[in-house]
Structure 1
Amino acid sequence: MRIEDAGENSVIAWFADHASIEVNEGVVATCNSLEQSMGDALVDLVPSYASLLVIFDPFKTHHEEVRQRLLDAFESSNTSKTIAKLIELPVLYGEAFGPDITRIAENAGITEAQVAELHQSVEYRVYAIGFAPGFAYLGEVDTKLATPRLETPRQIVPKGAVAIADRQTAVYPSQSPGGWNLIGLCPTRLIDPTAKSPMSITVGDRIRFVEIDESQYLSLGGEL
C-alpha cells in the first residue's frame, strides 16, 4: 500500500495499480476498520476502485498519525468479515426507455432481449461512488455488452436511466448530462437528501438487475 498526502487535512492510500474485486475488498475492509478507530478526528472516507481518501480534522490529528492509523487498519482488516449487502434493482428495458439498446444489440450481433438477459446475468460490485451523488460505478458487464462512451454526451439523461460505458454499468440517480449508453429505466430512488443515510448504495455492495414491465415500473413509482 502506498500512502500520500492529498491536502492539508487529507491523505490517500493506493492499494494497487489496478482494480479488482480482491483489491476493492481490501479497500472496503480498511475503510470499515478506520471508521471505527479514528473517532471524531475523522471527517470523511472516500473509498474507490483501488484507493481510499481519508479526510480528517487537523485540530484533532495530523498527517503522520493518520498514515499510521491507515497502516494499522490495513494490517488488521479482515476481508472475510466484510459483509456485502445484495441489492436488487428493477429495470424496464427497451428502446423506448433506453435508446442505445438497439445499437448495443446490433454491434454484439444479438437481440435487445438478449442484451437485457446478459445485463441481468451478472452480479455486479459497486467499485466507486462519484460523478454525481449516488452514482455508483458497477462492474463488470459481459464483454458482448461493453460499449464505449458516446462521442458527444447528451445534455439531459433522465433520472433512473440504466446505462453502460465500456465494461461498467450504472443508474443515473438524478437528471443530468451524461455520455453513457442508455438501455432502460430503473424506478428505484437511489438518493434521498433528507434521510440520515442519503445514499442507499455504498462501495462494496452487490447489485443485481431484474427486468420488469411497464405496468410494474409505474406501480413502483417510475415516471415516463
Structure 2
Amino acid sequence: MTRRPETQSQRPDDPLFDVPQIAALGIDGLLVRFRAGESMEANRAALALRAALEADPITGVQETSGALASVYLRFDPAMDVREAILSALRERLAAADWARAPLPQGRRLWHVPASFEGGDAPDLGAIADAAGIAPEEAVAQICAAPVRALALGFAPGQAYFGMLPARWDIPRRAALVPAVPRGAIVLAVRQLIVFAATAPTGWHQIGRSAFQPFRPSRGDETFAFRAGDELRLHPVGGAELREIEADDPGGMGGARAEPIA
C-alpha cells in the first residue's frame, strides 16, 4: 500500500508519519519529513527518496540534500515552479513505500582501526558506567556490527552513524568540550561520529582513529563517507594506531572500503 503525502497524524505503533509531510522552507525550498525524530525506517526512506530525486530530477529542482529523516529540495524562487514541483513531488511520494525502498546504490562498508585506550578515549569509562557495563565490553559492543551513515553534516565530510542498540541512548554533555581532534570517535544518542576536523563538541569521545573523512586534496574523493555507507570500527592499541598514523600520511589511517552488495 502506498502512502499519500501531507497529513499531520502519526500512529503510536508506527515510527513513521502516516504519510510523509511536505513543508515550505523559506521562499526557495521544500522539506519532506518522514518522521519528527530519528528511526532507521525514516532514514531509509530519506536516503531512498533523495537517491531517486538525484537519479530522475524533478524539473525546476536545483539541489537536494538529506538529513536523518528528511529531504530538502531547493528551487529558484524567481521561477514559477513551486506548484509544479509540489505536484510532481506528491506523485513521487505516493508511488512507493519509501520506508521499504532499496538503499542507494554504490554504498560501501568502511573498516576503520581505532584506539580505545588512555588519552584517545577520555570519556569511555563514563559512557561505560552510564551503560552499566565494563569499558572492555562497551568497546566490544560498539564495534560488534556496522552502523549506517544516516546523514552528513556539522562539518565537511562528517557523517552521523547509527543506530546503536538502545543502551547507547546516552545524552550529550551539559557543557561543550573545547575541542576533540580530527579522527576522534564520539558517541551520543545512539550515534557515532568520526570527527572530520578538530572542533568543539557536546558528544563523548570514546576513541580515536587516524582516518581523515575530509580530504580536500583528493578532488572527487574529498568526502570519504557518503550517506548510506556503513562503518565498522576495529580496536587497535594506542601504540599501533600511532604506527599506522606514521606510516600513512595520506589520511587513510589504515581504513579500507569494500562495496556493499
Q: TM class by shorter-chain length?
A: 0.7 to 0.9
The match for 2:184 is 161
The match for 1:46 is 65
The match for 2:36 is 17
Q: Does 1:119 align with 2:142?
A: yes
Deviation at 1:81, TM superposition (A): 6.1
The match for 2:229 is 205
The match for 2:101 is 79
The match for 1:91 is 114
Deviation at 1:138, TM superposition (A): 1.6
Instruction: Give the distance between the partners of 1:120 and 1:81, measured in 2 at CA.
Output: 23
Instruction: Give the distance between the partners of 1:221 and 1:61, measured in 2 at CA.
Output: 53
Cα pair 1:94 1:112 within 8 Å, conserved = no
Instruction: Give the distance between the partners of 1:70 and 1:92, measured in 2 at CA.
Output: 45
1:138-175 deviation per Cα after TM superposition (whole angstroms, max 9, x unaligned): 22223444422111111111111101112222111100
Deviation at 1:9, TM superposition (A): 1.9
The match for 2:85 is 66
Identical positions, percent: 24
Match of 1:218 among 224, 242, 248: 242
Q: Secondary structure at the match of 1:116?
A: helix
Deviation at 1:116, TM superposition (A): 1.0
Q: CA 1:65–1:88 in 2, change beyond 3 Å: closer, same or farther?
A: farther
**Where in structure 2 are the equivalents of 1:116-155 lying within 5 Å?**
116-155=139-178
The match for 1:196 is 220
Instruction: Give the distance between the partners of 1:150 and 1:208, measured in 2 at CA.
Output: 25
Q: Secondary structure at the match of 2:186?
A: strand
The code of the aligned residue for 2:67 comes to S
The match for 1:170 is 193
The code of the aligned residue for 2:40 comes to I
Deviation at 1:183, TM superposition (A): 0.8
The code of the aligned residue for 1:174 comes to A
Structure 2: where are the runs of 5+ without partners?
1-19, 250-261
Q: CA 1:51–1:215 in 2, change beyond 3 Å: closer, same or farther?
A: same
Structure 1: where are the runs of 5+ without partners?
none
Cα pair 1:146 1:164 within 8 Å, conserved = no
Deviation at 1:55, TM superposition (A): 1.6
Q: Secondary structure at the match of 1:71?
A: helix
Q: TM-score, normalised by structure 1?
A: 0.86
The code of the aligned residue for 1:220 comes to I
The code of the aligned residue for 1:113 comes to E
Instruction: Give the distance between the partners of 2:82 and 2:145, measured in 1 at CA.
Output: 40
Q: Secondary structure at the match of 2:175?
A: coil
Q: CA 1:18–1:81 in 2, change beyond 3 Å: closer, same or farther?
A: closer
Q: CA 1:26–1:95 in 2, change beyond 3 Å: closer, same or farther?
A: same
> How many corresponding residue pairs?
223
Deviation at 1:214, TM superposition (A): 2.9
Instruction: Give the distance between the partners of 1:11 and 1:50, measured in 2 at CA.
Output: 14
Deviation at 1:96, TM superposition (A): 1.9
Q: Secondary structure at the match of 1:7?
A: coil
Instruction: Give the distance between the partners of 2:77 and 2:213, measured in 1 at CA.
Output: 32
The code of the aligned residue for 2:223 comes to M
The code of the aligned residue for 2:228 comes to G
